[in-house]
Structure 1
Amino acid sequence: MSEHTGTHFDAPLHFVKGAAAIDSVALQTFFGRMTKIDARDCGPREAVGVERIKTFEAEHGEIRAGDAVFFHFGWDRFWEDPGDHPSFLSDWPGLSREASQYLLDRRVRIVGSDCLSLDCFGSTDFPAHNMMLEAGVLIGENFARLGDVPVFSFLITLPLPIAGGSGSPIRAVAAFAKGAHSNTLSSIAI
């Protein structure tokens, strides 16, 4: 199994020589507030711009330092029917250079999506990977069921402690209040 199989994190070492491997990332990085931005209306190979993020913040509040920010492109829908699997493997949207910088300015800890890469399909310069990983921000890829998660939740993940690993498969869970006035927590494997 590859370090980048299924739902996984990319560690800085994935793109940055001599950077942190997955086994040296602080454990507190893998737990904390998660922000989900709906981007299902993005077209194939479309790069999310800053305006989408600013519109989200105007509606829901600012992204906070230390947040894990995930973009729900709806790409996980291609796993429901085996006949759609080839669609999962091509033309996915991603993050623009400007949106990547905006999130770095917000001092996020993780950025991810439900696609095979945070960069658009066919990217040759990989702006999201290069910028995020250079800054020590983890990248989450192939997350499922983001559509079942509220805008804000608590992300719980743990990677395998692969010595010198450039990434790791993970089990990801989003925890959130079941109702607006409830003390009961719901959780969804993502």
Structure 2
Amino acid sequence: MPIIDLSTAVDAAAWEPEPVIHDVMTPAQGAVHMAEEMALHFGVDFDPSVLPDGELLSVDTLKLTTHTGTHIDAPSHYGSKASYGVPRHIDEMPLDWFHRPAVCLDLRSATGPTVDADFLDKELARIGYQPQPLDIVLLHTGASAWAGTPRYFTEFTGLDGSATNFLLDRGIRVIGTDAFSLDAPFGAMLKRYNETGDRGVLWPAHFTGRDREFCQIERLANLDALPQPYGFTVSCLPIKIKGAGAGWTRAVAIL
């Protein structure tokens, strides 16, 4: 079956506000390391020189946040408290949320830093689709074209509070975007807050998660490769990190 990769790579060479550190232990170094570990922990003596080319296994060690690359935010990411109870961590979320029919909405015509419920309603009418409960909704902003550069973190389109609630009202529990965040860029939000003093403009999509349980996929890619806006399944099972507010995923569309 055709499978389309919707994920952004974890790349230590790409620009990130919090850089990725990727250390590689070569197969030769891995052989020495394994011999030392076997002696230390299990009392087993082993000479790595007997191995082909003196090599065993490579080992990669990474230092990065769970919000690097394509990842899923859990309810506990939005705060330590929620009106509905204790927010769940990523390892506690039901897996059937993350392998579901999906629809992709095109936000590239948006003129502001966010779109509202009316924009989403018109886009659904344009493509002739109404979301079903537990569908996964993907937002195609075009921002993934700037992945790996500073621009990726400052120029994209997010959802306002009305748009987020519009989707949740229809039973959606997973919303994905090809942008850095489901909210507007930091600069746009803070500018509006400084002008209005309205705290409601600060991270409304994220903070909706304090009242309504849902997850968001951030930093998707390749949404323009989808041949149609619906009629496919998205699989985006999160990595099971105990007690974490987010987990990486290899998100794909299955046609």
Which AA in structure 2 matches 1:140? I
| 3-state DSSP of counterpart to 1:33 | strand
Q: How far did 1:40 drift?
A: 1.1
CA distance in 2, matches of 1:163, 1:134: 23
Unaligned runs of 5+ in 2: 1-63, 81-85, 191-201
**More strand per residue:** 1
- From 97, 103, 110, the equivalent of 2:167 is 103
Instruction: Kindly provide the amino acid, as one letter, of the partner of residue 136 in structure 1.
Output: E
Work out the CA distance in 1 between the residues paired with 2:136 and 2:211: 17
- Alignment-derived partner of residue 70 in structure 1: 138
> Number of aligned pairs?
171
Amino acid across the alignment from 1:135: R
Worse-superposed segment, 158-167 or 128-137: 128-137
| Greater per-residue helix proportion | 2
Structure 2 counterpart SS, 1:165: coil
**Whole-Å Cα distance in 2 between the matches of residues 164 and 134 of structure 1?**
20
* Aligned mates of 1:11, 1:61 — CA distance in 2: 27
Q: Give the Cα–Cα distance (whole angstroms) in 2 for the partners of residues 161 and 7 of structure 1.
A: 15
In structure 1, which of residues 34, 58, 61 is the aligned counterpart of residue 125 of structure 2? Answer: 58
Following TM superposition, by how much is the alpha carbon of 1:105 offset from its aligned partner in structure 2, in angstroms?
A: 0.8
Q: Cα RMSD (Å) of the superposition?
A: 1.5
Read off the aligned partner of 1:58 and give its amino acid letter. A
- Three-state SS of the structure 2 residue aligned to 1:88 is helix
Shift of 1:16: 2.6
For residue 117 of structure 1, the aligned residue among 181, 199, 203 is 181
Q: What amino acid does structure 2 have at the position aligned with 1:151? A: P
**What does residue range 167-178 of structure 1 map to in structure 2 within 5 Å?**
167-176=246-255
CA distance in 1, matches of 2:209, 2:170: 12
Q: How far does the alpha carbon of each residue in 1:11-68 deviate from its partner, in whole angstroms, 9 at most, with x for none?
A: 000013141000000111110011100111223x521111221112223221111111
Amino-acid identity (%): 29
Contact 2:105–2:124, Cα closer than 8 Å, also in 1? no
**Aligned mates of 2:165, 2:239 — CA distance in 1:** 29
CA distance in 1, matches of 2:211, 2:65: 22
Distance 1:35 1:133, change over 3 A: farther
2:245 to 158, 166, 187: 166
Q: Distance in 1 between matches of 2:139 and 2:106?
A: 6
| Rg (Cα) greater in structure | 2
CA contact (8 A) 1:11 1:133 kept: no
Distance 1:133 1:32, change over 3 A: farther
TM-score normalized with structure 1 length: 0.84
- Alpha-carbon distance in 1 for matches of 2:164, 2:220: 19
**SS of structure 2 residue aligned to 1:112:** strand
Gaps in structure 1 of 5+ consecutive residues: 177-190
2:214 aligns with 137
For residue 33 of structure 1, what is the amino acid of its counterpart? P
